[in-house]
A and B are shown apart, each in its own frame.
Chain A
Amino acid sequence: MTNSWTDIKNTDLVVVMGGNAAEAHPCGFKWVTEAKAKRGAKLIVVDPRYTRTASVSDFYAPIRPGSDIAFLMGVIRWCMENDKVQWEYVLNYTNAAFLVKDEFGWSDGLFTGYDEEKRDYDKASWDYKIGEDGYVLTDPTLQDPRCVWNLLRDHVDVYTPEMVERVCGTPQDKFLTICQMIGECSTPTKTMTSMYALGWTQHSKGAQNIRGMAMLQLILGNIGVRGGGMNALRGHSNIQGLTDIGLMSNLIPGYLNIPTEKEADWQTYLSTRSFKPLRPNQMSYWQNYPKFMVSFMKAMWGDTATAENDWAYHYLPKLDVPAYDAMRMFELMTHGKVNLYFCQGFNPLLSFPNRGKMTEAFSKLKMLVIMDPLTTETSHFWQNHGIYNDVDTAAIQTEVLELPTTCFAEDEGALVNSGRWLQWHWAGATPPGQAKHDTWIMAQIWTRVRKLYQDEGGVFPDPILNLTWDYADPGNPMPDELAKEMNGKALATVYDPADPTKVLAEAGQQLAGFAQYRDDGSTMGGCWIYAGSWTEKGNMMARRDNSDPDETGAYLNWAFAWPANRRILYNRASCDVQGKPWDPSRKLIEWTGEKWEGYDVPDIAPTAKPTEVGPFIMNPEGVSRLFSRGMMRDGPFPTHMEPFEAPIANVFNPRMRGNPVARVFESDAETFAAVGDPDFPFVATSYRLTEHFHYWTKHNPVNAALQPEFFVEISEELAAERGIERGGRVRVWSKRGQVWAKAVVTKRIRPMTCDGKIVHVVGIPLHWGFMGAARNGFGPNSLSPAVGDANVETPEFKAFMVNIEPAAEEPVA
């Protein structure tokens, strides 16, 4: 989230699209209710189903799964055409006036530079025109046809209300009502918030869905303000934290990158990370990258990381592919190229697409290690459970170790919520049986491996033998030790660069913030964005002062929010160019003439003059990007792409399948149904229920009783067409697998018409398997295709094709 849950009360309009907050985030959704009750805010829901969120909305419109970009570009077109633009914001805080290379263009659904063989773009033309002074050329009058604003106008021109109806199935009158409601928020004193979740991410173009809304929010001037923002509701309780700390193939904590093998040395690695400002006077905060990186290397390898050896850069792995993400690893497993795999609190047999492939992949491992509080389907992938897990147990040669871990009630530490709050929690129960903390397990494994290398030697043991491991008990590091390490401390005296006589931190002291990080080896810190979370003043994440002066919703003294305890990102943009709040009744910060101050920690240098330094300090432009240059693989603007399995062809280019640059493994391509395949005529989409949390709560007898049995949800029209009884048993199948379920026949899903064709949607909730207290069932991953988003490889769970028919009732045992 750019903002926080408690900030939603400040909004005037909530758009829930790509999510279902009332159902999936009920206690956070109460802040929508608060905004409706106290501010008269309105709620719009756009969703294939009439969801629980829709049931309390002011306006609902249906949309075909996987067509969100067309809808969003349609809204942008309408706003541009009807002058619903926050002009001062767009002109000063976005790259609308920046000039783009003449070679850049779009036709037939594709941007310039497409290479069908490589399934990739040559992005050379997706960039600005640079002047002789090294800065981007701009035209603040927006007259130049090559300025971003005019290119955007051309780009969205095709998304007329007629086109939106044709692609999305959303009736034009409903679409236009929503445009008008959204357009009202272009005034500086009205604000809209976007709340989204997996309904936008789980597509082969998920990142572009989100970009589409972010662009709209910029055009309306809604980023950085109270009650505005792009608010990813997020899933599990520490998805945010695990991502912050970089537990991904290509990440280093704090959104730094693992090098590729093209970056053979430290200088080459840093050369593409200089982040020179693209406009005069801009902060371009990523210029501090070397400070964050060196401090990370010092946290990892301590005294072994020196300036002379480039901070032990040679210890880091170097990637030969963009990432060894989970789907790539499962693909490698099916080829017998992976021997050992660890699942820490993760149930991939039900969480990744094409379950048949998952079973095949795990069956080819030598060893699978599970760490979990619960016994999971993944740990039993080899065990036959009839139709629910129909495997040949004896033929599966994988050894499995199942290790019992503690759960939240028994451990201590911080979780990061979707509003970036790091909240500390304490243990209040004794672990059951021999269950152990994950920290103990990881330390036990690591110290044993280190011992083996100490005793036996082996291949390149240096990064293991020299890893910093100075915990009081090496076999059982404590949460406070680990939290302090992430915050960072001084290794030598740290001085104020503006006044070299002034000491900021003595050696051994915790750092107060990332501004104290250095690139000369005098500081260490595992995760720069967490700097300030555990300082010399103590554990800031454990703070519990819930006062909120003037009821802004900021709660600055409750826990700690990264970065720098800032509650609303880009909050400099809540003020006009002179530094006065756009809406005085929703002041966040302001320029006093000497410095920035207010209710939140300013997202800009405290004394940066408002007319000089732009509000988007992380970007070398100093402004936000309506045109994202070559930063995304599938285009600098979002363009409509169909899902890989779709009922209709792409209206711009019938030859185009899905996202033209998404990675597709050969073996997976064979499992996709053809466009309009009559054997798989219905669109399926996965979703969640308020009574359950993923595959966890089916282990809880209370929740298992509330929603005991797997079902699929279909319209009355589809039920009639297929002769399906309300409550009857059905079989649903895709080109990859089949499931049996109860049929829930409702008015919540209605057929829609897209490109002249009737489209039925089958809703598939996600909470059943073959372990736990609920009845045995299936997950949507038995059916969905193994293909992910082109930028981040999030699987396409929200739009794929199936068939459905009545099935014989299950025999009563």
Chain B
Amino acid sequence: MNIDLSRRGFLRLAGAGVAATSLGAMGFGGAEAAEQAHVRAFKLATTTETRNTCPYCSVACGIIMYSKGDVKAGETAELIHIEGDADHPTNRGTLCPKGAALKDFVHAPTRLTTPRYRAAGASEFQEITWEEALDKIARALKDDRDANFIQANEAGVPVNRWTTTGFLAASATTNETAWLTYKTVRSMGIVGFDNQARV
């Protein structure tokens, strides 16, 4: 069962409690306050906890992410730690060698941070704005669809098929992304549609 007291709150209370009781019991009355003043708070006590699931395999272990800053409150949040969620029925707090290193996946040096464009024949990418990239894509889609959309087959049966553009969907995006992707791809008539489950 979940307890109302969060792990972070529990750590803070427990930490302060241990320092206060043991010092008090040993009779250091005046020293107590001074000692408490420089006991460093637990690092995680100042973080925001967020429940998530591991993005790797489909065991879907529960994880707790610790961030400086709160996304929900509109703050910039930096992820500083990830651990297994002890409340989760499947993994009960454990993680494998991949899940245990998840934080460093999020911070991988090869994460993409800006849209890039490679021109025909070019040997390097160049940065491009989102506006330029999205306009380019929309234009290419419209032009290719208008040029190659098959409205009817030879027998005159309406088939509304577009085979010259294809879409390979993901494997770790959310259901919600999947549904929006489905609507987008299908409404245009794209039939070259597949996802990672194929392999």
Question: B58, A693: Cβ atoms under 8 Å?
Answer: no
Name the residue of chain B whose CB is nearest to the CB of A400.
B118
Residue numbers in A under 8 Å from B101 (CB-CB): 697, 700, 702-703
Residue numbers in A under 8 Å from B118 (CB-CB): 382, 398-402
Instruction: Determine which of A261, A328, A429 lies in contact with B65 in the assembled complex, contact meaning CB atoms within 8 Å.
Output: A429
Question: A428, B71: Cβ atoms under 8 Å?
Answer: yes
With A428-B48, A482-B179, A546-B1 as given contacts, are A691 and B98 in contact (CB-CB < 8 Å)? yes
What's the nearest-Cβ distance from chain A to residue B148, in Å? 7
What's the nearest-Cβ distance from chain B to residue A3, in Å? 13
**With A245-B179, A444-B130, A448-B135 already in contact, 7 other A-B pairs whose C-beta atoms are closer than 8 Å:** A26-B96, A339-B164, A398-B118, A415-B60, A435-B112, A459-B149, A773-B110
Residue B160 interfacial (CB < 8 Å): yes
Chain B: residues with Cβ within 8 Å of the partner, total of: 123
Q: Which of B11-19, B23-31, B32-40, B85-93 is the interface stretch?
A: B85-93
Q: Which of B116, B135, B177, B189 neighbours the largest number of chain A CB atoms within 10 Å of its CB? A: B177
Name the residue of chain B whose CB is nearest to the CB of A444.
B134
Q: Which of A371-379, A709-717, A741-749, A756-764 is the interface stretch?
A: A371-379
Chain A: residues with Cβ within 8 Å of the partner, total of: 166
Instruction: Determine which of B117, B134, B160, B183 lies in contact with A318 in the assembled complex, contact meaning CB atoms within 8 Å.
Output: B160
Question: Which residues 313-349 of A sit at the B interface, judged by CB distance below 8 A?
Answer: 314-320, 324-329, 332, 337-346, 348
Residue numbers in B under 8 Å from A372 (CB-CB): 112
What's the nearest-Cβ distance from chain A to residue B194, in Å? 4
Name the residue of chain B whose CB is nearest to the CB of A251.
B193
Question: A27, B91: Cβ atoms under 8 Å?
Answer: yes
Residue A153 interfacial (CB < 8 Å): no
Question: A373, B121: Cβ atoms under 8 Å?
Answer: no
Instruction: Determine which of A429, A452, A530 lies in contact with B77 in the assembled complex, contact meaning CB atoms within 8 Å.
Output: A429
User: Could you tell me the distance between the alpha carbons of A338 and B144 in the complex, rounded to whole angstroms?
Assistant: 10
Question: A458, B146: Cβ atoms under 8 Å?
Answer: yes
Instruction: Determine which of A398, A446, A458, A700 lies in contact with B104 in the assembled complex, contact meaning CB atoms within 8 Å.
Output: A700
User: What 0/1 pattern do residues 35 to 58 of B give for CB contact below 8 A with A?
Assistant: 000000000000011111111111
Residue numbers in B under 8 Å from A548 (CB-CB): 89
User: Could you tell me the distance between the alpha carbons of A620 and B121 in the complex, rounded to whole angstroms?
Assistant: 57
Question: B106, A429: Cβ atoms under 8 Å?
Answer: yes
Name the residue of chain B whose CB is nearest to the CB of A480.
B176
Name the residue of chain A whose CB is nearest to the CB of B128.
A401
With A237-B56, A417-B58, A436-B130 as given contacts, are A463 and B187 in contact (CB-CB < 8 Å)? yes
| B interface, over-half SS | mixed
Residue numbers in B under 8 Å from A692 (CB-CB): 98
Question: A430, B71: Cβ atoms under 8 Å?
Answer: yes
Question: A414, B193: Cβ atoms under 8 Å?
Answer: no
Question: A351, B196: Cβ atoms under 8 Å?
Answer: yes
Residue B6 interfacial (CB < 8 Å): no
User: Could you tell me the distance between the alpha carbons of A706 and B149 in the complex, rounded to whole angstroms?
Assistant: 49
Question: B89, A558: Cβ atoms under 8 Å?
Answer: yes
Question: A415, B172: Cβ atoms under 8 Å?
Answer: yes
Residue numbers in B under 8 Å from A696 (CB-CB): 56, 105
Residue A449 interfacial (CB < 8 Å): yes
Question: A690, B65: Cβ atoms under 8 Å?
Answer: no
With A352-B199, A427-B50 as given contacts, are A346 and B158 in contact (CB-CB < 8 Å)? no
Interface residues in chain B, defined as those with a beta carbon under 8 Å from any beta carbon in chain A: 1-2, 48-62, 65-67, 69, 71-72, 76-79, 82, 87-91, 94-99, 101-102, 104-106, 108-123, 125, 128, 130, 133-142, 144-146, 148-149, 151, 153, 157-199
Question: A248, B195: Cβ atoms under 8 Å?
Answer: yes
With A26-B96, A397-B120 as given contacts, are A438 and B177 in contact (CB-CB < 8 Å)? yes
- How many Cβ-Cβ contacts under 8 Å join chain A to chain B? 498
Question: B179, A346: Cβ atoms under 8 Å?
Answer: no
User: Could you tell me the distance between the alpha carbons of A203 and B148 in the complex, rounded to whole angstroms?
Assistant: 34
With A237-B54, A400-B117 as given contacts, are A373 and B98 in contact (CB-CB < 8 Å)? no
With A449-B141, A464-B188 as given contacts, are A401 and B116 in contact (CB-CB < 8 Å)? yes
Residue numbers in B under 8 Å from A452 (CB-CB): 138-139, 142
Residue A113 interfacial (CB < 8 Å): no
User: Could you tell me the distance between the alpha carbons of A432 and B108 in the complex, rounded to whole angstroms?
Assistant: 11
Question: Which residues 230-251 of A sit at the B interface, judged by CB distance below 8 A?
Answer: 233-249
Name the residue of chain A whose CB is nearest to the CB of B167.
A342
Question: B165, A339: Cβ atoms under 8 Å?
Answer: yes
Question: A345, B133: Cβ atoms under 8 Å?
Answer: no
Instruction: Determine which of B48, B60, B65, B115 lies in contact with A434 in the assembled complex, contact meaning CB atoms within 8 Å.
Output: B115
User: Could you tell me the distance between the alpha carbons of A341 and B89 in the complex, rounded to whole angstroms?
Assistant: 40
User: What 0/1 pattern do residues 399 to 419 of A give for CB contact below 8 A with B?
Assistant: 111111101111111111110
What's the nearest-Cβ distance from chain A to residue B113, in Å? 3
Residue A187 interfacial (CB < 8 Å): no
User: Could you tell me the distance between the alpha carbons of A441 and B184 in the complex, rounded to whole angstroms?
Assistant: 11
